[in-house]
Chains A and B, each alone.
Chain A
Amino acid sequence: MTPTRKRRAIFVGILVLGISAAAAVGIVSMNQNMMFFISPSDVQAQEFSPDRQFRLGGLVVDGSVKHSQDDLQVEFAVTDGAAEVPIVFEGILPDLFREGQGIIAHGFLRNGRFEANEVLAKHDENYMPPEVKRALEKQNHYYGEEG
């Protein structure tokens, strides 16, 4: 190998190593940060690890929203028509959070309730998160465009 070639080989080697390292970190970090979407029926049907973060979606059950009087804790339940899951959340709910509205919560499933660290409702009255829509369709609970 000529010196130039050798240097270039080292250079390319370092580059390949660097990219592989980045890819490895990427895959690990992706696995850690991947959240599966589950529906209330899924929660009823199977056990889920309490240490894994999930996205839970459904319609907010009418009359289920209870605000605490002293702090920002709020409790409510979501449904997909077949099953209900209670959710606890501490913080500020999004503007479009309302009973009957489709929402998605991020959090952990512990002792039969969902401890949410984030609640998302989309920014349009007529909008339904696609995952929620599909979960409802599975339970024949979705009629037309209205949430």
Chain B
Amino acid sequence: MIGEFGQFTLILALILALLLSVLPMVGAWRGHDRLMASASSLALGVFVFTAAAFATLAWGFLQNDFTIQYVAAHSNLLLPWYYRLSGVWGGHEGSLLLWVLMLGAWMTAVVALSGSLGKQFRARVLAVMGMVAVGFLSFTLLTSNPFERLLPGPPDGNDLNPLLQDPGMIFHPPLLYMGYVGFAVAFAFAIAGLIGGKVERQWVRWAKPWTLAAWGFLTGGIALGSWWAYYELGWGGWWFWDPVENASFMPWLVGAALIHSQAVTEKRGAFPAWTVLLSIAAFSLSLLGTFLVRSGVLTSVHAFATDPERGLFILGFLVVVVGGSLLLYALRAPRIMTGEGFATLSRESALLMNNVFLAVAAAMVLIGTLYPLIVDFLGWGQVSVGPPYFSAMFILLMTPIVLLMPLGPMSRWQNDEFKRTMQPLLWALIGSVLGALVICALLGVWNLRAVTGWIGGLWVMLGAVAFFMRQRRQSRHGLTRGQLGMTLAHFGVGVFVIGVAMVESSTFERDLRFEPGQIVDAAGYQFRLEQVVTVKGPNWSAEEAQITVMKNGEELLLMKPQKRRYYRSGQVMSQIALQPGFTHDLYVAMGEPLGNSGAWAMRIHVKPFIRWIWGGAVLMLIGGFTAATDRRFWQAQSAEDAAIDAGRVTASSPTRALPA
């Protein structure tokens, strides 16, 4: 019964979503207050009924209800309760349900926090989100129903893929989806603005915290996925340019560009059309990501559903969303306001450069990801584009971003001089070069990539510090939340750059045949294999290697990598041993047994500064969330803004020359 209840609530949610996408829109068009007001309760209804469906499925998992096919496929009796719960989004159907649930949560947040929005605008925003919900709910119900029955139910379920039996996997999909779906809010704002016929600074300002929050979630989701891949896959890498990683990275890049272009549009009125386009692009890329992952067109770890019907449905949905919004854009674009001009050296220019490079980077990732699909589709053969392509493109495109990043916040709107911008950064420039040389000397790494990485990273970090100090000195109220968030996020980029440069340039890596008693030297450490023993877990048994790590003859710690075999599926999986550290990680993974002498193939890595990669991402995430709470975004339109919108205040007014 419980499964049918879930199905029923899901259908109710779809009906409410259909009403939500029509009624408020009609209300806004006809000026009908009651219809417009219905948006809030309808949006809440969609959320509540989706949540009920989700809870039902979760209950099915916790109760081991194997008559539900999806539960039987992704859970079994041996699984601890928290992995049974995360099994809800361990497969295709459930993750779609999660997607819709997130959308419902974002809609509810818009209902709760958008009191200052005009009622017409608010009705349109919620209606657009309702349309997205209709698309995904019908997708779920028509092609991937999670409540499908399996009668009679089997006594025990299939295993959840052991790779997904991990704490990181509990949180990775929800965070990622919060980010993906969060861009639906910025998208809805842009579409609602286009329908209304005007792009106003005010709605860009309203959209900004939502974009920041979505981007923050996406940052967290991507970082968590990277961290999970690092310790779970046993290859020692943190990013593989796997198509599915790319699928989440493209909206991230466009989202980062959108945040910066929103800042210009919101404060100066410039690039309004570009901001609208980016809002559409960020969400479309999120949908594309879903399509790529769910359609099974990709060779990937993540592509667990290979069903052409589903792919076709998402592709159709994607075409409707992208085509529809671009058509609307083409019709309305001539009416979009035009911004004020600016000089070559100004903050607008700096942010324009930021946008150009981020957008080109996203395009490069898109080309590299889609090219194999297009070639295959045309029947030219099956190709893949290797990671070196992406790495080369990235170094090329990120270098200017790193160089310009400290200059952006220091420069003035509209017009500035290079000398004036550079002056407070002079010590940061000198400091980063000297600091990099000293640090590289201390670490004893002298390759070009490490040194340039330290210079670039320190330059960005010190640049953020310089901005922070100048702002505290000059402004009576200190930094706004927006500025604080920006400083944190930029600082995080610097930390990230250093992490990447060190890992990519100076990792110690060795795959070797390891015999008990043997000692291996690795980057100043000695590893000694003591023995390999058999151990047992709740639903697996394993061979466990015990390795003593020494430095200068002194025993430091015991590392215990495992080779697990899961009972239910018989799947074999390496569990790495990891000793994390601020400046380097020790990493050991087991390969296979070699011969009868007790020797094993093993992988020993010493990874310098790899924590800084995720540390930087965490700082960016915190920065994004901090900036989202800036009071400015949540206030009703001020008189001054209204005046600027009406074109009565000229840009030369001195109060606006400083960052507001």
Q: Which chain A residues have a beta carbon within 8 Å of chain B's beta carbons?
A: 4, 7-8, 10-11, 15, 18-19, 22, 25-26, 29-30, 32-37, 53, 55, 67, 69-72, 90-93, 95-96, 104, 122-125, 127, 129-131, 134
A72:B601 contact, CB within 8 angstroms: yes
Report the Cα distance A63→B601, complex, angstroms.
20
What does DSSP make chain A's interface, helix, strand, loop or mixed?
mixed
- Give the distance to chain B from A19, nearest Cβ to Cβ, in Å: 6
Quick one: given A67-B595, A92-B591, A131-B299, are A26 and B393 in contact (CB under 8 Å)?
A: yes
- B386 partner, pick from A33, A122, A134, beta carbons under 8 A: A33
- Known interface pairs A30-B367, A33-B385, A92-B591; 20 further A-B residue pairs with C-beta atoms within 8 A, sorted by A's residue number: A4-B341, A7-B344, A11-B349, A22-B393, A26-B364, A30-B368, A33-B389, A36-B381, A55-B382, A72-B512, A91-B511, A92-B603, A95-B234, A95-B563, A96-B572, A123-B161, A125-B569, A127-B304, A130-B299, A134-B382
- Give the distance to chain B from A103, nearest Cβ to Cβ, in Å: 12
Nearest to B372 among chain A residues (CB) is: A34
A69:B594 contact, CB within 8 angstroms: yes
Nearest to A133 among chain B residues (CB) is: B306
Q: Determine which residue in B234, B383, B603 has the highest number of CB atoms from chain A within 10 A of its CB, and name it.
A: B383
A25:B392 contact, CB within 8 angstroms: yes
- Give the distance to chain A from B60, nearest Cβ to Cβ, in Å: 22
Which B382-409 residues have C-beta < 8 A from chain A?
A: 382-389, 392-393, 396-397
How many A-B contacts if CB must be within 8 Å? 110
A34:B383 contact, CB within 8 angstroms: yes
> Can you report 13 A-B residue pairs in the complex whose CB atoms are below 8 A from each other?
A11-B349, A15-B356, A19-B356, A22-B360, A26-B367, A32-B389, A33-B388, A36-B382, A37-B382, A55-B384, A72-B594, A92-B589, A93-B592
- Give the distance to chain A from B227, nearest Cβ to Cβ, in Å: 17
Report the Cα distance A95→B389, complex, angstroms.
27
Q: Which chain B residues have a beta carbon within 8 Å of chain A's beta carbons?
A: 161, 163, 233-234, 296, 299, 301, 304, 306, 341, 343-344, 349, 356, 360, 364, 367-368, 371, 381-389, 392-393, 396-397, 511-513, 563, 569-574, 589, 591-592, 594-595, 601-603
- Give the distance to chain B from A35, nearest Cβ to Cβ, in Å: 5
- B304 partner, pick from A19, A22, A124, beta carbons under 8 A: A124
Quick one: given A26-B364, A92-B603, A130-B306, are A35 and B371 in contact (CB under 8 Å)?
A: no
- Give the distance to chain B from A143, nearest Cβ to Cβ, in Å: 17
Report the Cα distance A72→B341, complex, angstroms.
64
Closest 7 CB pairs of A and B: A92-B591, A37-B382, A33-B386, A33-B389, A29-B392, A33-B388, A69-B595
- B384 partner, pick from A35, A67, A69, A124, beta carbons under 8 A: A35
Report the Cα distance A123→B591, complex, angstroms.
15
Quick one: given A33-B388, A72-B512, are A123 and B601 in contact (CB under 8 Å)?
A: no
B570:A129 contact, CB within 8 angstroms: no
Report the Cα distance A103→B385, complex, angstroms.
18
